[in-house]
């Protein structure tokens, strides 16, 4: 697996069964996660000594950094096995591979194993619908479009996972504030004067409310703004239509003070300079 890229594939019964042993974990040292979205049938997931069953309307997240087992639950009267066999039930599922850094950076820690995520309503249903739509349209999407869509899915998935780890007493209003703030940052990321205080004033909340909501999601206003701007830059560097736009102009167009400020932040985030990524993309 290329742990630096998203992957999204549709698996059927005879392709779903998967075992990752402790020996494979030690040898391969893969860094990433797999998000499982059942469409039909029932999956069994075992990791960290816990077993869960996933049905349509639920989802699961496993880490490649620890042993796990995924299989299809047996049909009526059949013996349960890890790999789908003649006696196993029928199932289909989308399997999304997510680079570790994309989740760990948002959560500020390795993601916990999460199974039985409710994807039947609310934000969970939005995530499930997005995964299905991206999976069905994969061939029609360019690499930048696919990555951008997967970024959004991962961002929302982190909100769900982080929400499940918060104390029960945490006000639900924080999740609403966080969702609105993220949408506001996406819409205004190119504005040079965008700050946490400015967005709080425009939205009619206190800066403390905005900071607290993002703190529960593992980020800050400043980090969220920088992340959104860097993603915009990355998308434009990959876009052939922006091939002649200079790095300096690109920096100013996306809210950075200078080309050097952009290059430093970009290399720190993606491991390459803007020029190197543009050269690789074209």
Per-residue pLDDT of 153-184, as tens digits, reads 998 888 888 765 443 334 456 777 888 898 89
User: What tokens were used for 2?
Assistant: 């290329």
User: CA angle, corner 143, sides to 43 and 186, nearest 5?
Assistant: 90
Residue 121: CB atoms within 10 A of its CB come to 10
pLDDT of residue 249: 94
SS (H, E, C) 95-159: EEEEEHHHHHHHHCCCCCCEEEEECCCHHHHHHHHHHHHHHHCHHHCCHHHHHHHHHHHHHHHHH
- So what's the pLDDT on residue 89? 62
Provide the pLDDT confidence category of residue 253 given band limits of 50, 70 and 90.
very high
Question: What is the pLDDT, as a whole number, of residue 262?
Answer: 94
Question: Which domains, ranges and CATH numbers included, belong to the chain?
Answer: 7-165 (2.60.120.280), 173-281 (1.10.10.60)
Q: In whole angstroms, give the CA distance from residue 238 to residue 162.
A: 31
Tell me the per-residue pLDDT of 61-101, one tens digit each, with 9 for 90 and over.
Answer: 999 888 989 988 875 433 333 333 334 568 899 999 999 88
DSSP of the chain, one letter per residue?
Answer: --TTS-EEEEEEHHHH-EEE-HHHHHHH---EEEEEEEEES-EEEEETTEEEEE-TTEEEEEETTS-EEEEEPB-TTPPP-SS--TTBPP-EEEEEEEEHHHHHHHHTSPPPPEEEEE-SSHHHHHHHHHHHHHHHTGGGS-HHHHHHHHHHHHHHHHHHHHHHHS-TTS-THHHHHHHHHHHHHHHHTT-TT--HHHHHHHHTS-HHHHHHHHHHTT--HHHHHHHHHHHHHHHHHH-GGGTTS-HHHHHHHTT-S-HHHHHHHHHHHHSS-HHHHHHHH-
> Which pLDDT score, from 0 to 100, does residue 83 have?
39
The answer, yes or no, to whether residue 152 has pLDDT greater than 50, is yes
Q: What gap in Å lies between CA 58 and CA 63, rounded to an integer?
A: 17
Sorted by sequence, the CB contacts under 8 Å of residue 263 that are 6+ apart come out as: 247, 273, 274, 275
First to last CA, the chain: 24
Nearest-5° Cα angle at 105, 154 to 152: 20
**Per-residue model confidence (pLDDT) at position 51:** 84
């Amino acid at each position: 697996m290329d742990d630096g890229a998203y992957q999204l594939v549709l698996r059927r019964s005879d392709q779903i069964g998967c075992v990752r042993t402790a020996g494979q974990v030690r040898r391969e040292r893969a860094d990433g996660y797999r998000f499982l979205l059942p469409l039909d049938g029932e999956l069994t997931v075992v990791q960290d000594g816990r077993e869960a069953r996933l049905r349509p309307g639920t989802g699961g997240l496993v880490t490649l950094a620890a042993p796990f087992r995924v299989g299809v639950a047996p049909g009526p009267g059949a013996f349960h096995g890890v790999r789908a066999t003649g006696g196993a039930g029928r199932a289909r599922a989308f399997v999304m591979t997510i680079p570790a850094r994309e989740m760990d950076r948002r959560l500020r820690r390795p993601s916990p194993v999460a199974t039985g995520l409710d994807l039947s309503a609310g934000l969970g249903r939005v995530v499930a619908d997005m995964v299905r739509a991206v999976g069905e349209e994969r061939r029609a999407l360019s690499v930048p479009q696919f990555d951008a869509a997967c970024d959004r899915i991962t961002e929302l998935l982190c909100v769900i996972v982080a929400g499940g780890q918060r104390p029960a007493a945490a006000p639900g209003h924080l999740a609403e504030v966080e969702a609105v703030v993220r949408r506001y940052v996406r819409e205004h990321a190119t504005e040079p004067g965008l700050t946490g205080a400015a967005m709080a004033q425009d939205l009619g909340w206190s800066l403390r409310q905005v900071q607290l909501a993002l703190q529960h999601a593992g980020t800050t206003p400043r980090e969220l703004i920088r992340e959104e701007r860097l993603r915009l830059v990355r998308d434009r560097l990959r876009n052939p239509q922006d091939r002649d736009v200079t790095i300096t102009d690109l920096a100013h167009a996306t809210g950075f003070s200078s080309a050097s400020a952009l290059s430093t932040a970009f290399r720190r985030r993606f491991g390459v300079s803007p020029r190197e990524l543009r050269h690789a993309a074209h």
